[in-house]
Amino acid sequence: MVTVSDADTTLPDGVQRRTFEGKESLATRGEPVYGEPTDGSWRAWDPHRSKLAATIESGLDTGLAADDTVLYLGAANGTTVGHVADFAGRTYAVEFAPRPVRDLLDVCETRPRLFPLLKDAREPATYAHVVESNVDAVVQDVATRGQAAVAARNAQFLADDGRLVLAIKARSEDVAREPQAVFEDVRAELRETFEILAETRLEPFHDDHLALVARPR
Ligand SMILES: C[S@@+](CC[C@H](N)C(=O)[O-])C[C@H]1O[C@@H](n2cnc3c(N)ncnc32)[C@H](O)[C@@H]1O
């Protein structure tokens, strides 16, 4: 396993480091979504608002590549999945709360390859008829109890050489336990289905979060 802490990372085509208002930031090309700074067709991708951007900023090689087919779990109002759809191929965005999905629909409006699904990620059978098999990446940020179980249930969609890019929020599993102990349990559960390739903590962007990259066993 590789733990990376510097910012030396491989960015997918379609993701760049650019300067906005004098400050360097990750950026993708697409219609603005959340009032983020823009420069022509580029828009800043804020690691404080996106666990995936924080993962990339933390130096982890996510394995994500331009035109990848992506299943995104925990899309919320589309902040991060909008950036993903800016550089990826077909992107399926699963979110079970109706309110954020209304905003997500606006993000989809200008992104023809982004498909919103008002579904529960714990019940992949309810969207298996829509999401193709052999996706290149499952990106997960559900911040709810049972995060490893959600990943395991959705492993069925991944290609053999596909990648799971997972953000784990310790407090969603157990507010009272030490994050390190929570992460150890999550790793053990994940290893039943995945081989963990790399991981990083997401401080200073997100407290008590762990990001992992894994592949199916
Ligand atoms: C931390 S927020 C996600 C933020 C989003 N990934 C972003 O960066 O733009 C977690 C989201 O996961 C959703 N969620 C939690 N459990 C879920 C489940 N079982 N199925 C689908 N969505 C779920 C929540 O409703 C919430 O919107």
For the chain, what's the residue count? 217
DSSP codes of every residue in 105-153:
HHHHHT-TTEEEEE--TT-GGGTTTTSPSSEEEEEE---SS-HHHHHHH
Q: At what angle do helices 179-190 and 147-154 cross, to 10 degrees?
A: 20
Within the chain, strands assigned E span: 2-3, 15-20, 23-29, 38-39, 42-45, 70-73, 91-95, 114-118, 135-140, 158-169, 194-201, 209-216
Ligand 1 and 103: CB distance under 6 A: no
From the CA of 74, give the closest atom in ligand 1. Answer: 12
Ligand 1 and 147: CB distance under 6 A: no
Q: Structure pTM?
A: 0.95
The domains of the chain, with CATH numbers, are 2-216 (3.40.50.150)
* Residue 206 confidence (pLDDT): 98
Residue 40 CA to ligand 1 center (angstroms) comes to 30
Residue 120 CA to ligand 1 center (angstroms) comes to 10
Residues of the chain with pLDDT under 50: 1-8
